[in-house]
Amino acid sequence: MKALILVGGFGTRLRPLTLSVPKPLVDFANKPIILHQIEALVKAGVTDIVLAVNYKPEVMVAVLKKYEEKFGISITFSVEEEPLGTAGPLALARSILGKDESPFFVLNADVTCEYPFESMRDFHLAHGNEGTILATKVEEPSKYGVIVMRAGSTQIDRFVEKPVEFVGNRINAGIYMFSPSILDRIEPRPTSIEKEIFPRMASDRQLHTFDLEGFWMDIGQPKDFLTGTCLYLSSLAKRSPEQLAASDEFVCGGNVLVHPTAKIGQGCKIGPNVTIGPGVVVGNGVCLQRCVLMEDAHIKDYAWVKNSIVGWHSSVGRWSRLDGVTVLGDDVHVLDEVYVNGASVLPHKSISSNVCEPGIVM
């Protein structure tokens, strides 16, 4: 089987992290976002993966070469000369996606969930029509485009954009499975799969919905990246609790993921919902809540980090405090006794005075 991952461009919404690393390689729960997806696809029997990109960073080529060898799969870059939307990339990759009659997955690179690819594949093959959309249920459907199904069926009738009155609570989760015949509907030009292709498939009675169990989040921007991390850790606590830290010495509130190479000082309060990456050093008396510490970060004694992302090789000084969805890019250094609230700090900067209002620090 095959899969197409819609990677897109420069990951501007996730800056400053994507100023140093291409978005698919940003660490999410201590491994690159795209690795979570590749592992789940391989488990479902996928052997050919296409990455639809606007540009081809060399660092990504090198990393994905290793994944090819590790999993025994083929990973191909499909580079768009102009942005082709969410459907055009399928036409551009037709030589791979349409090379045989087996169905293929399409997914957005920003989506995290429990990736039910195996059960979704079985469902798609069972109904025998052209497409399956993974759907997630939301509490406030008026914010989204809602999927309306035919009575007593999984078949999609129509889509209603931001409904004023209740018509359903299922929305598109950004993961699909298609039979190769869908490629006959798409031209290699800028095309929206949601607005142009899906309505026609629904009217032809060729599109079904498959309900997602468990969490779902688009992690393409920092505040959602943090929320997605919390949801992922909660899911991990149910599925594989042995992967989470269980030390009574520092875990406070649960759902703490610590890389084996990280070092934790004395008297720390860590949790809930904290990810600590490889080579991280956490000093004595540190308090960490709802935050992500990336590789080789250093949190010095008695610092307090909450609702924040500390990028690679960055440090937070003694008695300093981060909050308000602060994001430190690569190699950022917050000096001692400094308060930072809601700042996005570009790589290779030093912060020596308080940042009280959210904004970009250049």
Q: Quick check: 206 and 131 in contact, CB under 8 A?
A: yes
Cα 121 → chain centroid:
21
Task: Clarify whether 162 is annotated catalytic.
Answer: yes
d(CA 129, CA 20): 42
d(CA 57, CA 60): 5
Catalytically annotated residue among 31, 99, 143, 162: 162
| Count of beta carbons in the 10 Å neighbourhood of residue 63 | 18
User: Of 337, 289, 343, which Cα lies nearest the Cα of 316?
Assistant: 337
DSSP letter, residue 235: H
Q: How far apart are the first and last CA of the chain?
A: 45
Cα 15 → chain centroid:
14
Task: State yes or no: cis peptide before 116, omega within 30 of 0.
Answer: no
Residue 81 in tokens: 């000369």
| Count of beta carbons in the 10 Å neighbourhood of residue 188 | 15
Q: Quick check: 270 and 251 in contact, CB under 8 A?
A: yes
What residues have CB less than 8 Å from 165, skipping those under 6 apart?
A: none
User: Of 124, 128, 172, 165, which Cα lies nearest the Cα of 147?
Assistant: 172
Q: Quick check: 52 and 6 in contact, CB under 8 A?
A: yes
The torsion angle over the Cα atoms of residues 21, 301, 334 and 336, rounded to 10 degrees, is: -170
d(CA 338, CA 76): 46
In which region does residue 81 sit, left (phi positive, over 0), alpha (psi from -120 to 50) or beta (all else)? alpha
Distances (CA, A) of 138 to 82, 148, 217, 308: 33, 14, 11, 26
Residues annotated as part of the active site: 162
